[in-house]
Structure 1
Amino acid sequence: MLKQRIITAVIMAALFLAAIFFLPYQALAALLGLIVLAGGWEWSRLAGWEHVGARLAFVIVLAAVLAGLYTLCGLGGAPSREQIQPVLGLGTLWWSFALLWVKGYPGSAALWSNRVMRSLIGLLVLAPAWAAAIYLLSFPRGGLLLIAMVVVVVAADVGAYFSGKSLGKHKMAPAVSPAKTWEGFWGGEICAALVGVGLWFFMPAQGAHISLLAVLAVVLATSVASVVGDLTVSMVKRESGTKDSGSLLPGHGGFLDRLDSLCGAAPVFTLGLVLAAW
């Protein structure tokens, strides 16, 4: 199982890097859109839609939302900060609400466990993250910044895993994810901070001086958001009685099982760079 998981991870990393470095902007936006729609297909089952027609309807609605964001935010050309900031702000605000629901679970399920609310949650999880990633690509060296965001999330995840495994005693959200501990969380934050130092040192902002403190604030907030994303999707999976969102990725489950942390991280990371005038 571990060998299969590693092989799949290596293949995904290679394909991701190849797409970043070799695909033009529009093609990369379309590819990321298809990945998000695949995640939407998986989410439709978590939302409780069993009939194929209902699941397709959810994916079509998600596609329409992505198309709307692409147009309204000017993502097809040179999007301005004024166009994208409301979407990034909404995405960040959503994760704040999601954190409250995670902490209140299972009691909070009374507020969101019906199919319509779970479908709305799916749109809020997936659509702002896609828009944030596409906008990030419009930055100077945007591909490298997208890679940096992924590295922050992976570093936090790896740090949390090993810290939690060796030191973990205090449960973070036992009703949602019993394996997650506060010791693991802080280990992940430390690893994310180290990545932040590297980001500040090796990728100075274009035309602006940004302090190390500002970069650390962005990456630490991103790391926290990635944990909230993971826990939120885990909460919905637990409520729907599902362990994995799918089985398309051997050793990893479905697309959502890989996207959950990134969906939380993307709006926060991008908004942080915008506010820091990167």
Structure 2
Amino acid sequence: MTSYSNPVKPVAQSSTRTRVITALVLAPVMIVGIFILPLKPFAFFIAFIATVGAWEWANIAGYQKNWSRLLYAFIVFACLYISARILRVHPEWKIWFLAAGTLWWIVAFAMVKHYPGGTGVWNARVVRAFLGICVLIPMWVGFMHLKEEPHSSVLIIYVMLVVWGADTGAYFAGRRWGNSKLAPKVSPGKSWAGFWGGLATTLLLALLACVAFDHWIERIDL
């Protein structure tokens, strides 16, 4: 009798290994940057991360040549610099940057919900490149806003834990119970189990953060 190997399991194991290795490498770097760096070096630190993200986003947008990806990363860095100069003169405008970022995610939800409708518009490379700016600039402003708050390091760590926790919870719940697909036209690998797993992990982290803040964090200076 001929036996057939299951190709899904090795791929899943490889994906898990990659995620773990990436977390082990990046998490210490982020933690050191968050707790050690003062405001201005922290601004450059997050700007560097955003610029690297722009390099990757350029590929998603359809700019696959190195020179075009480098140019896009430079444009995003220039936008970050201009934003920093504007906010230095008008710090009260920060709310408009954050509002623009929130508006973008509402638009993104609508785009996903109506997919594949509207692809004729946002499939254009220049539109996708602009969407990257709508993601990366508010991200930098948001980090800087948190850095200026009391207990800034703890707040930023909490945000990172929510993101990592949601992704991890969704991944493992989807692997275990992911039969019902969430949005097969958008991402065939995503499932409702993953959605609920990510949501449950986020709620658990929020509860733990509330307890920790009330009983411990306010007593120390972080």
TM over 0.5: yes
Residue 180 of structure 1 aligns to a residue in which SS?
strand
Q: Given the alignment of the two structures, is residue 101 of structure 1 paired with residue 111 of structure 2, yes or no?
A: yes
Distance in structure 1 (CA, Å) of the matches to 2:62 and 2:146: 33
Shift of 1:115: 1.4
Paired residues for 1:1-278 under 5 Å: 1=14, 2-74=16-88, 80=91, 82-204=92-214
Distance in structure 2 (CA, Å) of the matches to 1:163 and 1:179: 12
Higher relative contact order (CA 8 A, sep 6+): 1
Residue 16 of structure 1 aligns to a residue in which SS?
helix
Residue 105 of structure 1 aligns to a residue in which SS?
coil
Residue 62 of structure 2 aligns to a residue in which SS?
coil
> Where does the alignment leave 5 or more consecutive residues of structure 2 unmatched?
1-13, 215-222
Relative distance call for 1:7 and 1:183 in structure 2 (3 A) is closer
Shift of 1:87: 0.9
Shift of 1:51: 4.1
Relative distance call for 1:13 and 1:115 in structure 2 (3 A) is same
Kindly indicate whether the alpha-carbon contact (under 8 Å) linking 1:169 and 1:181 is maintained by their aligned counterparts in 2.
yes
Distance in structure 1 (CA, Å) of the matches to 2:85 and 2:185: 40
Distance in structure 1 (CA, Å) of the matches to 2:155 and 2:176: 31
Relative distance call for 1:106 and 1:71 in structure 2 (3 A) is same
Greater fraction helix? 2
Kindly indicate whether the alpha-carbon contact (under 8 Å) linking 1:29 and 1:134 is maintained by their aligned counterparts in 2.
yes
Q: What count of residue pairs does the alignment treat as equivalent?
A: 200
Partner deviation per Cα, 1:49-69 (whole Å, 9 max, x = no partner) = 244443333222211211122
Greater C-alpha Rg? 2
Kindly indicate whether the alpha-carbon contact (under 8 Å) linking 1:74 and 1:83 is maintained by their aligned counterparts in 2.
no
* TM-score, reference length from structure 1: 0.67
Distance in structure 2 (CA, Å) of the matches to 1:58 and 1:137: 27
The alignment yields a C-alpha RMSD, in angstroms, of: 1.9
> Where does the alignment leave 5 or more consecutive residues of structure 1 unmatched?
205-278
* TM-score, reference length from structure 2: 0.82
Report the AA paired with residue 74 of structure 1.
Answer: R
